[in-house]
C-alpha cells in the first residue's frame, strides 16, 4: 500500500474519532451533536492547533457525505407531504430570501460599501446551509414533524431562489443589465426539475418496482437508489442548483418505498460514516484569524445577527 | 459547488452505474458479479475506450472500499471459528506460499532471467488478492461454510507470510545479506498483532459493552466499530501488513456482537456503495496494451497458469 493511502487512512481515523468524541461530549451537555463535530474541525484544523490538515480527498469525501446526509433526510420526506406543505414552504422561502436580502443590502449601504459588493454579500446571506438545517432537525429528532417539513421545503426553495437571485445579481454587475432570456432558462430548468421530482419521478419508481424483483443483483433496490442519488446530484449541479438538493429529491422519490425495501437504515449507515467528514471540514475551513481584525469582526457579528434575525422573522 | 466536485460526482455516477450494469449481466450469465465489475473497469478505463479516467480521489475511495469489503467479511467470521480452522489455514497458507514461490522461481530461472528478478516475481505471486477471494466467496454465497473460513484464514496468513518473504527477499537483494534482527521484529509484530486480534481483542469488546449502552451518541456500536475498523487498518499498514487485513480483524472482533447490534446490514450498505469503485479501478489499472507484445503475453499466461495451478494445489 502506497504512502499516500497510509496518510489518508490516518486522516480518516483521526477526523472520525475526534468528530465523534466532540459529538458525544456535546450530546451529554444537551447541545446538538453537529456543533461538536464542527468545533472539532475548528480546533484541530489548519487554522488553530494544526493537528489535521485535511487533504483534497478528505474534502471530496466530505462533499459525498453532504450528499448522503440530504439523501437520508429525503428518504424520510414523502413527496405528498412536501406537496402538502409546499405553499407554506414557498412563503417561508420567499420571506427567507427577501428579508435578509434587503436587510443585508441596507446595512452594507449604510456602511458606505460599494453597491456591487453589497449585492453580493446580500445574495450570499440568502444561501441557507441546508446541510446544517437538516442535521440539526435530525439531532433534535423532530424530522418527522410538520414544522420540520415546512423548514426543509423552504430550504430547498431557498436554494433555487438563491441561485436565481445570484444569477440576477451577477447579470446586474457584469453586464450592466439583466439577461432576461438566460434567467428565464435557469428558472425554467430549476422549477421544472423540482416539479418533475415532486409529481412525476415517484410514479416512475412505482413502475420500476416489478422489474427490480426480477433482477439478480444482491440488494437491487439499494443499488438503484444509490445510483439515482448520484445521478440526480450530478443533474442538479449541472442546472446550477446545489448537488445536495438533487440528493434530497432522490431520497424523497424513494421515501414511500423506503420501509418496504429497508432503505433508511442502510442509507443512514453510509451517512453515519461520511457525515462527520462533512461537518469536520466545515469547521476546518473556518479561518479564526480572520476574526482578529476588529473591523471584520464587527461586520461579521452584525451580518450574522442580521442573518439569524431575518431568517427567524422569515 | 466547485468544478472539481462536479467532475468527481460525474465519475462516481458513471463508475457506479457501469460497474453495476456489468455485475447484473454477469449474474444473469451465472458468472460471479465481481468479474463484471472488473471488466467494466478494463473496458471503460484509460487503457481501452478511455471513457473514464479515474481521478486520484476515486482511487482513494477504492482503497476505502477494499477496507469495508474485508470489514464486512470479518463481521461474518467469529474469532472462535477462525481459531478452530487456524491450523488448517496455516497449512494451506504455507503451501500457498511455498509452492508458487518455488514454481515461479524455477520457471523464471529456466527462462534465464537474473536471479534477483526471479525472486521478486515469485514473491509477488505469493500475494493472493484477498479482496477478490473474499468477494468471490461472498458472490457464491458460501462465506458461512467451513471451507470458506479456511480459505479466508489462509489468505490472512498468506499476507503476513508474503510480507515476511518480501522483506527476506529485499534483504537478500539490497544488502547481499538477510537482516535477521529486522526480520525478527517484523515477524514478532505481525504474529503478535494476529494473536492479539484473535484472542484478546474480542474480550475487550465484551468489556466495553455496558459502557456503550450509557453513551448518548446515536448508533454508538456502529460508530465504535467504524472507528476501530479505521484504526486497525492504520495499525496494520504501520506494521507492514495490508490495511485490509487490519479491517478484516476489526470485523472479526465484532463478529460475535454483530447480530445484537445489527452491524452486518449496516456495514454491508457501506460496502455496497464503495466496493464497485474498488473493483472498477482494479480493472482500470490493467494496461491491456502490455499484452500486445508476444513475449510478455507468453510469460504472463504461463505465470498466471502457474499461479492458479499452484494456488489450487496449495
pLDDT digit string (tens) for A44-59? 988 888 888 899 999 9
- In degrees and rounded to multiples of 5, residue B179 shows phi and psi of -90, 95
Q: With beta carbons under 8 A apart, name residues in chain A contacting B13.
A: 227, 230-231, 233-234
- Residues with Cβ within 8 Å of B109's Cβ and at least 6 positions away in sequence, in order, are B115, B118
Contact A64 B227 (CB under 8 A): no
Q: Which three cell numbers stand for residue A261?
A: 425495501
Q: What is the mean pLDDT of chain B?
A: 79
d(CA A116, CA B288): 55
Query: To the nearest whole angstrom, how far is the Cα of B112 from the nearest Cα of chain A?
Result: 30
Q: Which of A98-102, B29-33, B42-46 has the lowest mean pLDDT?
A: A98-102
Note the ipTM here: 0.81
Contact B268 A219 (CB under 8 A): yes
pLDDT score of A16 more than 80: yes
Whole-number percent of chain B with pLDDT over 90: 26
Q: With beta carbons under 8 A apart, name residues in chain B contacting A57.
A: 56-57, 60
Contact B8 A63 (CB under 8 A): yes
Class of residue A200 by CB neighbours under 10 A (exposed 0-12, middle 13-18, buried 19+): exposed
Query: To the nearest whole angstrom, how far is the Cα of A60 from the nearest Cα of chain B?
Result: 7
- C-alpha torsion B248→B197→B153→B179, nearest 10: 100
- C-alpha torsion B5→B242→B188→B205, nearest 10: 70
Mean pLDDT of B139-156: 81
Q: Which whole-number Å values give the CA distances from A111 to A220, A299, B49, in the listed order? A: 58, 9, 58
The model carries a pTM of: 0.82
pLDDT digit string (tens) for B168-184? 766 666 655 667 787 88
Q: With beta carbons under 8 A apart, name residues in chain B contacting A217.
A: 20, 23-24, 27, 33
Please tell me the predicted confidence (pLDDT) of residue A124. 46
Amino acid at each position: 500500500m502506497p504512502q499516500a493511502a497510509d496518510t489518508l487512512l490516518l486522516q480518516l481515523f483521526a477526523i472520525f474519532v475526534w468528530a465523534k468524541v466532540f459529538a458525544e461530549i456535546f450530546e451529554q451537555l444537551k447541545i446538538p451533536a453537529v456543533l461538536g463535530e464542527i468545533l472539532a474541525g475548528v480546533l484541530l484544523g489548519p487554522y488553530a492547533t494544526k493537528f489535521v490538515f485535511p487533504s483534497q480527498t478528505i474534502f471530496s469525501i466530505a462533499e459525498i457525505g453532504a450528499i448522503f446526509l440530504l439523501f437520508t433526510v429525503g428518504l424520510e420526506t414523502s413527496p405528498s407531504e412536501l406537496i402538502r406543505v409546499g405553499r407554506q414552504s414557498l412563503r417561508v422561502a420567499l420571506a427567507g430570501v427577501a428579508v435578509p436580502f434587503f436587510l443585508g443590502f441596507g446595512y452594507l449601504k449604510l456602511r458606505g460599501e460599494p453597491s456591487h459588493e453589497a449585492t453580493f454579500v446580500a445574495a450570499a446571506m440568502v444561501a441557507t446551509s441546508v446541510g446544517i438545517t437538516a442535521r440539526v432537525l435530525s439531532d433534535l429528532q423532530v424530522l418527522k414533524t410538520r414544522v420540520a417539513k415546512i423548514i426543509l421545503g423552504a430550504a430547498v426553495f431557498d436554494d433555487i431562489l438563491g441561485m436565481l437571485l445570484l444569477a440576477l445579481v451577477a447579470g446586474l454587475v457584469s453586464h450592466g443589465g439583466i439577461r432576461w432570456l438566460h434567467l428565464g432558462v435557469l428558472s425554467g430548468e430549476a422549477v421544472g426539475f423540482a416539479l418533475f421530482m415532486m409529481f412525476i419521478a415517484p410514479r416512475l419508481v412505482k413502475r420500476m418496482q416489478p422489474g427490480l424483483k426480477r433482477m439478480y443483483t444482491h440488494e437491487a433496490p439499494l443499488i438503484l437508489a444509490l445510483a439515482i442519488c448520484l445521478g440526480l446530484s450530478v443533474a442538479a449541479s449541472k442546472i446550477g442548483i446545489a448537488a445536495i438538493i438533487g440528493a434530497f429529491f432522490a431520497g424523497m422519490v424513494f421515501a414511500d418505498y423506503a420501509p418496504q425495501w429497508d432503505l433508511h437504515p442502510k442509507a443512514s449507515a453510509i451517512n453515519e460514516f461520511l457525515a462527520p467528514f462533512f461537518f469536520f471540514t466545515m469547521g476546518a475551513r473556518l479561518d479564526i484569524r480572520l476574526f482578529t481584525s476588529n473591523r471584520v469582526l464587527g461586520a461579521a457579528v452584525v451580518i450574522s445577527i442580521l442573518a439569524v434575525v431575518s431568517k427567524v422573522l422569515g
